[in-house]
Structure 1
């Protein structure tokens, strides 16, 4: 069983979490990667993150 470490909500389906695309642009430089934050769909706590190649 997977659960949110903050609110203990059981995470069983894709809709139980939300993926937030963090802005990959800072100042004059544009990153070649996209940064993602995974949040609990119930309480909004950050429970993970990831990086993906940008197009």
Structure 2
């Protein structure tokens, strides 16, 4: 089981993103990225609203 765990953990090192994703300056965004930010913003507003204390 330890060998399987170690083997699966090393697979992440071989992951490759398509061009434009990564640390390089030549990056781009997807629509799903924008929706993620919208969702996080909505969750922050919900948390503020719920914690305002009546």
State if a TM-score over 0.5 links the two structures. Answer: no
Give me the TM-score of the superposition, normalised by structure 2: 0.19
Q: Report the structure, 1 or 2, having the larger helix content.
A: 2
Larger radius of gyration: 2
Give me the TM-score of the superposition, normalised by structure 1: 0.19
Q: Report the structure, 1 or 2, having the larger strand content.
A: 1
